[in-house]
Amino acid sequence: MQTPNVLIVEDEVVTRTTLKSLFEAEGYNVFEAENGDQMHDFFENHAINLVIMDINLPGKNGLILAREVRDRKNVGLIFLTGRDNDVDRILGLEIGADDYLTKPFNPRELTIRARNLLSRTTSSAEDDDLPSRVSFNGWTLDGDSRSLISPTGKEFRLPRSEFRALHLFLSNPGKILTREQLIMEMTGRELRPNDRTVDVTIRRIRKHFESEPNDEE
């Protein structure tokens, strides 16, 4: 496996430098960007595997940039937020972030979460067991484009968490799945206290189906 490329998107110099040193010590290739324009330049010239992004950026903030990152199939996204409240976390998850940490964060915890996420985004075997297309009730889950296609042909590009959760449901029809099973499938980590990741992901999946008012689902 090639050494993963990690992109730090953070306007605060001290934090950005600290993160760079932290991930370089873990053996990753690390790139730094202080805004969205620099972030896109790195995406154009490098195969980025993981983005560590501050929500409060100048110009386009992290919530806006996350919508652009989520269109890239095999890129993980971890948000850093300076405010310990549900609003930032839920908005980030709604948009498609894979995980989040509140500043000040534990460096060891961040590297562990990053490693778990990278193991799912950089491993070519991650989706080997997933059929390229799964059809159900007129809908299609397309693994190649990581999208959900409605009976009328409308396509929803899914962040990794939604895709993995939906595939788990389709692979276990009629079975009751626990939050622990879902969070492990979606993010590769254990469920944390007061963790809203599963709730937000399921709500987003439901919105896709509800966009087709005549669908029996």
Report residue 214's pLDDT band, with 50, 70 and 90 as the boundaries: low
In 58-200, at which residue ranges do the beta strands (DSSP E only) sit? 76-81, 99-102, 133-136, 139-142, 147-149, 155-157
- Whether pTM > 0.85 for this model: the answer is no
Residue 85's SS3 state is: coil
pLDDT of residue 131: 62
Position with higher pLDDT, 216 vs 162: 162
Residue 32's SS3 state is: strand
pLDDT of residue 217: 44
Kind and range of the H or E element at 69? Answer: helix 62-69
Q: Which of 78-82, 119-123, 128-132: highest mean pLDDT?
A: 78-82
Domains of the chain: 5-121 (3.40.50.2300), 133-210 (1.10.10.10)
Position with higher pLDDT, 101 vs 124: 101
Tens of pLDDT, residue by residue over 35-66, are 999 999 999 899 999 999 998 888 888 888 88
